[in-house]
A and B are shown apart, each in its own frame.
Chain A
Amino acid sequence: MSPFDLTIAQAAKALRAKDISAVELTTAYNGAVAALNPRLNAYITTTPELALEQAKAADARLKAGDATALTGIPIAMKDLFCTEGVRTTAASKILSPFVPPYESTVSAKLKAAGAVMLGKANLDEFAMGSANITSAYGPVENPWKRREDADAKLVPGGSSGGSAAAVAARIALAATGTDTGGSIRQPAAFTGLAGIKPTYGRCSRWGIVAFASSLDQAGPMARNAEDCAILLNAMAGFDEKDSTSAPQPVPDFTQALTRGVKGLRIGIPAEYRLEGTNPEILALWDKGIAWLREQGAEIVDISLPHTKYGLAVYYIVAPAEASSNLARYDGVRFGARVDGVDLIDMYERTRAAGFGAEVKRRIMIGTYVLSHGYYDAYYLKAQKVRNLILRDFSNAFGKVDAILTPTAPSAAFGLGEKMDDPVTMYLNDVFTVPASLAGVPAMSVPAGLNAEGLPLGLQVIGKHFDEETVFAVSAAIEQAAGFAALPEVRAK
């Protein structure tokens, strides 16, 4: 079997069986990265030497019998995780010279488990975007192609677009992502991957460049639910350095994969059947419902009445927090600086040159909604509606064990599309944002292809800290869907 077709679980088995060494596996992936990354632009920074070093250490651990399920597994690290000694840019010009002297908790856990880091994956600048087109290091190309139009470049979704493209194109075995309003789930859906945004508080945010603190969550992106479970096992856990980290025990998520859905009550929210939604998406959703019913789940119609306000809440709360979180990029202690005649001029020039258009827009919207005279009308109001959205989920979870929805309103679209105004782009997140606002876990699994041959995903939403049910339902869908399609551009 080609090393590029392996899942984490299979690769781990092969490594233990000495069918392949970690160095061989990493060398293969390093080669694939070198070959395909110039085209896909999935990585901002590649770290082949570091990867080889880590692979050697992994082989030693494998030999010593001290290996974990991730030892020797080559992964891509979203360039939002600070990595000690490895440049971390958040896809922004303003952080282009930044080399963190520390390692984020999540990446440190993966490192400790023996995972091999191939490089830092591209993303939308500061994770703000849904198409990975706002990166200061250029857009990422989706390795999937439309059947009829193989030349058109499609976006991989965002913001974890580099992670998604890398895993889909087999130039990483798996990847880390972060999700603030859909940044793991939507690109996973656009690239035929599984990806989970865990419960808010499940993974430490320490060392991850912050976008919107009350929403940001790290999570895995991989070829299937099982790989996601293996990764999340290592990524999750209480961290005393993050005050919002949950003091919750971490179960073995892989155990939940085979639970099945028999007897589970699955909620189908009426409000996600938005007018104008692509019929292919609705048809796939219906298929998903049928699969679950066939496997013994009880399908329950539910209502999440404030769903339609999710995006509006999100586009107030997230920019507000971002406007403050990004104030630290001022050219004083780290990052790029543009000189000015005085301190204020230096700030203004540094930030004007350092931030891209979308980031500036969001900082300005966030600044405005928090400013004197507008706070109550925008920010406070949004927080109240956010409470209503949380209540919607709490009420729903009184009746059901999980909720099934589409992940995104469309399949991957072309580079340059949906650019008429910022709001058109924002609408991509319509199905993913509510779970972010409520802090509940949500996973996208690939469930089929559209007529153009592009992957589509279904989203499974669970109760707070019940990722296990999310995995159980996702695995059931995955099994029923039997998704096996591969993207056009990939390492072979």
Chain B
Amino acid sequence: MSLDAATVRRIARLARIRVEDAEVETLKSELNAILGYVEQLDEVDVDGIAPLASVVQLGLRQREDQLSDGEIAEQVLANAPDRIGNFFAVPKVVE
């Protein structure tokens, strides 16, 4: 499988990264080099092998339902690039 320019643009869009026209070709060849490399996995026989998501072979630890966090609006907002009162602010969204 090899990426074309349209796919590069589609991925960039999905990843919300603006890509200038001039960048597309370079990106395409770099990404294809990586994909070309990882495609060697095709030769591995994985029949009957379960996918491994984590090396930790334990079940999920569950915490008690207690209030232990929050009520720190000022700290949560302190790094915001833009805020209106205690809200985060972004360019207007039209639904």
A touching B, CB within 8 angstroms: yes
Binding site for B on A (CB under 8 A): 97-99, 101, 200-201, 214, 240, 243-244, 246-247, 306, 308-309, 311-313, 315-316, 323, 327, 330-337, 339-349, 351-352, 355, 360-361, 363-365, 367-368, 371, 374, 377-378, 380-388, 390, 421-423, 426, 437-439, 464
Chain A residues whose C-beta falls within 8 Å of the C-beta of B81 in the assembled complex:
97, 331-332, 334-337
Chain B residues whose C-beta falls within 8 Å of the C-beta of A335 in the assembled complex:
79, 81
A243 near B61 (CB under 8 angstroms)?
A: yes
A422 near B30 (CB under 8 angstroms)?
A: yes
A355 near B94 (CB under 8 angstroms)?
A: no
B60 near A243 (CB under 8 angstroms)?
A: yes
B35 near A365 (CB under 8 angstroms)?
A: yes
12 A-B contacts (beta carbon < 8 Å): A243-B60, A309-B44, A315-B37, A335-B81, A351-B15, A351-B18, A364-B17, A368-B7, A371-B14, A384-B52, A421-B33, A437-B55
Chain B residues whose C-beta falls within 8 Å of the C-beta of A346 in the assembled complex:
90-91
Out of A214, A377, A464, which one reaches B54, CB within 8 Å? A214
Extra contacts besides A312-B39, A313-B41, A388-B44 (12): CB < 8 Å: A311-B37, A313-B38, A332-B88, A341-B91, A348-B16, A352-B18, A355-B17, A363-B15, A364-B31, A382-B38, A382-B41, A423-B34
Chain A residues whose C-beta falls within 8 Å of the C-beta of B61 in the assembled complex:
240, 243, 247
Chain A residues whose C-beta falls within 8 Å of the C-beta of B92 in the assembled complex:
342-343
Out of B50, B63, B93, which one reaches A387, CB within 8 Å? B50
**Shortest distance from the beta carbon of A378 to any chain B beta carbon, whole Å:** 7
Out of A244, A367, A384, which one reaches B14, CB within 8 Å? A367
Q: Which residue of B lies closest to A199 (CB)?
A: B55
**Shortest distance from the beta carbon of A21 to any chain B beta carbon, whole Å:** 35
Chain B residues whose C-beta falls within 8 Å of the C-beta of A309 in the assembled complex:
40-41, 44
Chain A residues whose C-beta falls within 8 Å of the C-beta of B14 in the assembled complex:
367, 371
Out of B12, B44, B55, which one reaches A364, CB within 8 Å? B12
Count CB-based A-B contacts (< 8 Å).
171
Chain B window 1-40, contacts with chain A (Cβ cutoff 8 Å), 1 for yes, 0 for no: 1010001100111111111000000010111011101111
Decide yes or no whether B84 CB sits under 8 A from chain A: no
Chain B residues whose C-beta falls within 8 Å of the C-beta of A200 in the assembled complex:
55-56
Binding site for A on B (CB under 8 A): 1, 3, 7-8, 11-19, 27, 29-31, 33-35, 37-42, 44, 46, 49-56, 58, 60-61, 63, 72, 75-76, 78-82, 88, 90-94
CA distance A344 to B15 in the complex (A): 11
CA distance A380 to B42 in the complex (A): 12
CA distance A309 to B33 in the complex (A): 16
Chain A residues whose C-beta falls within 8 Å of the C-beta of B8 in the assembled complex:
364
CA distance A232 to B74 in the complex (A): 35
B34 near A333 (CB under 8 angstroms)?
A: no
**Shortest distance from the beta carbon of A134 to any chain B beta carbon, whole Å:** 13
B49 near A337 (CB under 8 angstroms)?
A: no
Q: Which residue of A lies closest to B52 (CB)?
A: A387
Chain A residues whose C-beta falls within 8 Å of the C-beta of B1 in the assembled complex:
374, 377
Chain B residues whose C-beta falls within 8 Å of the C-beta of A97 in the assembled complex:
79, 81
A361 near B79 (CB under 8 angstroms)?
A: no
Chain A residues whose C-beta falls within 8 Å of the C-beta of B63 in the assembled complex:
240
A337 near B82 (CB under 8 angstroms)?
A: yes
**Shortest distance from the beta carbon of A445 to any chain B beta carbon, whole Å:** 24
CA distance A386 to B17 in the complex (A): 29
Chain A residues whose C-beta falls within 8 Å of the C-beta of B35 in the assembled complex:
365, 368
Chain B residues whose C-beta falls within 8 Å of the C-beta of A311 in the assembled complex:
37
Q: Which residue of A lies closest to B62 (CB)?
A: A243
B41 near A330 (CB under 8 angstroms)?
A: no
Chain B residues whose C-beta falls within 8 Å of the C-beta of A383 in the assembled complex:
51-53
Chain B residues whose C-beta falls within 8 Å of the C-beta of A327 in the assembled complex:
16
CA distance A309 to B60 in the complex (A): 29
CA distance A439 to B88 in the complex (A): 39
Which 10 A-B pairs have CB atoms at the shortest separation, nearest pair first?
Answer: A439-B55, A383-B51, A334-B79, A348-B18, A352-B18, A387-B52, A337-B81, A384-B46, A347-B16, A101-B75
A315 near B38 (CB under 8 angstroms)?
A: yes
Out of A342, A348, A364, A386, which one reaches B94, CB within 8 Å? A342
CA distance A312 to B93 in the complex (A): 40
Chain B residues whose C-beta falls within 8 Å of the C-beta of A347 in the assembled complex:
16
Given A378-B38, A381-B46, A388-B46, A244 contacting B56 (CB threshold 8 A): yes
A244 near B54 (CB under 8 angstroms)?
A: yes
A380 near B17 (CB under 8 angstroms)?
A: no
Chain B residues whose C-beta falls within 8 Å of the C-beta of A363 in the assembled complex:
15, 17
B33 near A422 (CB under 8 angstroms)?
A: yes
Q: Which residue of A lies closest to B3 (CB)?
A: A368
Q: Which residue of A lies closest to B80 (CB)?
A: A333
Given A384-B49, A423-B34, A342 contacting B79 (CB threshold 8 A): no
CA distance A168 to B12 in the complex (A): 39
Chain B residues whose C-beta falls within 8 Å of the C-beta of A315 in the assembled complex:
34, 37-38
